[in-house]
Amino acid sequence: MLTKKEEGIGIGVGAGVGKSKGFKAGMILLFGTLLLLTMLFPNTARAATSVYTISAFTNTSESNMYIYESYNATHYGLLKGPAYTPPADLIRDPSIMKHTDVLYYVIYTTNWSGNTIGIASSPDKVNWTFVRNITLSSPTTIAHTWAPEWLKDSNGSLNIIVSLSPGNYENFKPYVLTASGSNLASTSWSAPTELAGIAPNYIDTFIVKTGSTYHAFTKNETTK
């Protein structure tokens, strides 16, 4: 027969074991519910998390675009590859943005030489559809049209920054085109206007606006 002290110990231990088992069962149920919700609604958790996207091509596959994603901007995994192949020509230097119509749009270099750039759209960065090619015209000769980049300005305008060369893959200069409307399947674009202040033969120019100042990140094609 237990003394009152021993009874207290016995009761205490028994209650502790019961609580421990209940806690473990509750945690198992919680994790099981979360797993089930993740499987049933995979985009719910994803929508609340920042997603970083890289669009790329390879030297051995200039006609295919690959999409990579990351949740920490450090480790990237292949989302789909190839994710898009244009109906003709190449897809080099792909640049992606999310437009006001909630679609993703990629703009890209269509060939080593020529005066066109291509556009494709996607609802999810996985399934892409060709939209159109844009033919550039200028008073000066356009022999090479490379590395178009989207630029959404603070005034609401949608622009393309592109590197143009008069020939022989030399003397590239950055130019800007501005859309006259928001429908990228049909809008017209302004004639290319040269950006002043950047030395000749710099390509892949990418512009970011901070406050009232524009910052251009560009590459010296001569020295690489």
Six token digits for residue 22: 């209940």
- Give 165's contacts (C-beta < 8 A, 6+ positions apart): 142, 143, 144, 146, 171, 172, 173
Q: Are strands 158-165 and 173-178 parallel, antiparallel or unpaired?
A: antiparallel
pLDDT digits (tens, 9 = 90+) for 189-218: 999 999 999 998 999 999 999 999 999 999
pLDDT, position 32: 59
* 63/108 Cα distance (integer angstroms): 11
Six token digits for residue 6: 């021993």
pLDDT, position 52: 93
pLDDT digits (tens, 9 = 90+) for 144-177: 999 999 999 999 999 999 999 999 999 999 999 9
pLDDT, position 59: 83
Of the candidates 115, 120, 103, the residue with the CA atom closest to the CA atom of residue 63: 120
Per DSSP, 25 falls in state: H
pLDDT, position 31: 55
Residue 46 has pLDDT above 60, yes or no: no
* 206/149 Cα distance (integer angstroms): 6
